[in-house]
Amino acid sequence: MAKYRSAIIACGTIARCHARAWQAIPEVELAAIADTSPEALAEFGDFFGVPPERRYTDYRVMLDRERPDFVDVCSWHGQHAEMTVAAAARRPKAIICQKPMAMSLAEADRMLVACQREGVKLLVAHQRRHLATWLEVQRQVAEGLIGQPQQIILDSGSLLNVMSHDVNMALFLLGDRPVEWVMGAVERTTDRYERSHPCEDAALGVAQVSGGVTMVIHSSLGTGHRRGHGCRLIGSEGILELGVTRPPDDQLRSDGPMRQPEGSSAKYNDERGTARYLTASSGGWQTIEAPWHDPFVHLAQEALDWVEGRTDDPISSGQKGRATLEVLMALYESARKRQRIPLPLKTLANPLALMVESGALPVEWPGRYEVRARIVRGERMSWDD
């Protein structure tokens, strides 16, 4: 019989990744789920074997009745803070919140304070920190594989949704050193929204990381550098490149009859990290490999280990999630104030939202559109009430 019970808030694609993780850990039972969509509850509950009486359309009712030990917040970005604070008030042992941690530093701090106040451990699910190969790479970089890190280059998508993974990975690769300052620019020529929040069209940033490392951020720019999750790390004695891959679609684990506007959820569970390095003595490019594991299982196991005292410094702690968010908010703030921004960042509101609301980023081609409309259920095609 399982020692602990878990509950999941919001039953979409990413929640299935969390559910698979808990079902792979014998000490924890996936006990209850919550979603405002009866259709989503039915699909998810039937697939993962959650009884109908433990499926809730109100997540607060679920938390009050079930009193789970672990809570996974798998909702859209703008609901992370509200749901994490509500879950913390019921005092589970730990909460795993999806990335990005929040929409502003003020929200992130509310989450951290609520969990500290109630004695709840908070983790943020930047699951790619838990890729087996990247864990091995981080260890080898710390041991001097390419000498002293000097520059790390990132090239992927929108800052909060996609680039948050890569900034988080870069900080992990550098041993979670503090960031000293950020300077950046934001382009928003269309009235673009993502999950009902204003989103930039593209961004460019530079961050100075402690120890003399420069982080270069290309967000939705298509620079020609290797694109996608990963990085290029330049050291005093070599170069390291990280990426991700996954099995072909026909080899991914099944989602059953789930509605799949974004494709299989298991593509995230089954993702693999890739890595190669080049030094003067390596004799050409050399690959780094490690035995594969599901990164979400590794994340859930870390939460369990933290609860049971086997670790006191989890690699996906809430504080490390906040550090990632601070870099992204500082880039927005640099664009707003047109200057380099020293950290810690004093502005707790979302600077991009401030610019949009004030008219400081006027669009050139009017017409609001939602880039994630395809994943909303029903007629509204919007997250707005």
User: pLDDT band for position 260 (50/70/90)?
Assistant: confident
How would you label 137-160 residue by residue, b for 16+ Cβ within 10 Å and e otherwise?
Answer: bbeebeeebbeebebbbbbbbbbb
* 61 domain residue, yes or no: yes
Distance CA 325, CA 218 (A): 16
In order of 37, 187, 269, the CA distances from 47 in angstroms are: 16, 42, 16
Extract the tokens encoding 33. Answer: 């789920």
Mean of all residue pLDDT scores within the chain:
95
Percent of the chain with pLDDT over 70: 97
Give which of 71, 75, 81 is closest to 32, Cα–Cα.
71
Q: Are 56 and 62 in contact (CB under 8 A)?
A: yes
Q: Indicate whether 228 pLDDT > 90.
A: no
Extract the tokens encoding 343. Answer: 């950290």
* 258 domain residue, yes or no: no
User: pLDDT band for position 384 (50/70/90)?
Assistant: low
Residue 254: what pLDDT? 87
pLDDT in tens, 82-131: 999 999 999 999 999 999 999 999 999 999 999 999 999 999 999 999 99
pLDDT in tens, 173-225: 999 999 999 999 999 999 999 988 999 999 999 999 999 999 999 999 976 55
Extract the tokens encoding 186. Answer: 């934001």
Q: Indicate whether 66 pLDDT > 80.
A: yes
Q: Are 137 and 240 in contact (CB under 8 A)?
A: yes
User: pLDDT band for position 256 (50/70/90)?
Assistant: confident
CATH assignment of the domain containing 88? 3.40.50.720
List the end-to-end C-alpha distance of the chain, in Å, as a whole number.
41
Q: Are 42 and 18 in contact (CB under 8 A)?
A: no
Number of domains comprising the chain: 1
User: pLDDT band for position 264 (50/70/90)?
Assistant: confident
Distance CA 335, CA 363 (A): 15
Q: Indicate whether 2 pLDDT > 60.
A: yes
pLDDT in tens, 135-183: 999 999 999 999 999 999 999 999 999 999 999 999 999 999 999 999 9
Distance CA 138, CA 172 (A): 7
User: pLDDT band for position 262 (50/70/90)?
Assistant: confident
**DSSP code, position 317:** B
Residue 360: what pLDDT? 95
Q: Which domain holds residue 59?
A: 4-127+299-303
Distance CA 263, CA 80 (A): 23
* 48 domain residue, yes or no: yes
Q: Which amino acid is at 84?
A: T
Q: Are 249 and 262 in contact (CB under 8 A)?
A: no
Q: Indicate whether 226 pLDDT > 60.
A: no
Residue 227: what pLDDT? 58
Residue 206: what pLDDT? 98
